[in-house]
Chains A and B, each alone.
Chain A
Amino acid sequence: EAQVTQNPRYLITVTGKKLTVTCSQNMNHEYMSWYRQDPGLGLRQIYYSMNVEVTDKGDVPEGYKVSRKEKRNFPLILESPSPNQTSLYFCASSLYQGAVEQYFGPGTRLTVT
């Protein structure tokens, strides 16, 4: 089944404790991205990657890191999480940047206390 998976789905952590949210797609997509969704602010792009070893900042990259060492994986790293990073995070992939359809993962709900 073609899909984007994210782990964990739910996470409660404390300020400053490094965490990684994994994202994996099995569709051989070149383009992957991370979004956060907050009430009243909609979906905002954090980082994106057009291919292996190619990553770039989206609209709200501060406090986040990513890597793209393999085509299928695009982990999101929070080196020192803060409460303002409490949010719902979605990973997405598509055949290429600007493709008609982006496939989203199920989301990761992160709470930083």
Chain B
Amino acid sequence: RKEVEQDPGPFNVPEGATVAFNCTYSNSASQSFFWYRQDCRKEPKLLMSVYSSGNEDGRFTAQLNRASQYISLLIRDSKLSDSATYLCVVISLGVGYGGSQGNLIFGKGTKLSVKP
């Protein structure tokens, strides 16, 4: 069973569209959640943290549902510059959760392509 699973994508959307990405995680002991953005052949960069109460940063909204072990990222009014791969990232504290406690576990990413 995959530890962090994301929509496989790719998502091809027109400018101005609203797009949502989903992510599920398997370890209920997971503590922290993030979305990273990775441009083609570049390094990943932190986009935003995800809090239980939900959080918003401009056109981006992240939600966490601990009961369902589910994280989402909503992008409103998509721009061409939003084209990238979005990585769901989880930090878990618990035995046998890949690597060691406190390490980041990355989903495989969802590719977004925004077209004019």
Q: Residues of A with Cβ closer than 8 Å to B?
A: 33, 35, 40-45, 48, 56-59, 88, 90, 97-98, 100-102, 104-107
Which chain A positions have C-beta within 8 A of B46?
A: 100-102
Contact A58 B103 (CB under 8 A): yes
Shortest Cβ distance from residue A39 to the other chain B in the assembled complex, whole angstroms:
9
Contact A105 B43 (CB under 8 A): yes
Contact B42 A100 (CB under 8 A): no
Shortest Cβ distance from residue B8 to the other chain A in the assembled complex, whole angstroms:
10
Contact A42 B100 (CB under 8 A): no
Given contacts A102-B46, A105-B43, 7 further A-B contacts (CB under 8 A): A44-B106, A58-B99, A98-B103, A100-B46, A102-B104, A104-B43, A107-B43
Q: Beta-carbon contacts of B1-44 to A below 8 Å, as 1s and 0s? A: 00000000000000000000000000000011010000001111
Shortest Cβ distance from residue B39 to the other chain A in the assembled complex, whole angstroms:
11
Once bound together, how far apart are the Cα atoms of A107 and B108, in whole Å? 17
A-B pairs, 6 with minimum CB distance: A104-B43, A42-B108, A98-B102, A43-B106, A97-B102, A101-B46
Shortest Cβ distance from residue A88 to the other chain B in the assembled complex, whole angstroms:
8
Shortest Cβ distance from residue B76 to the other chain A in the assembled complex, whole angstroms:
24
Q: Beta-carbon contacts of B80-116 to A below 8 Å, as 1s and 0s? A: 0000000100010000001110111011110000000
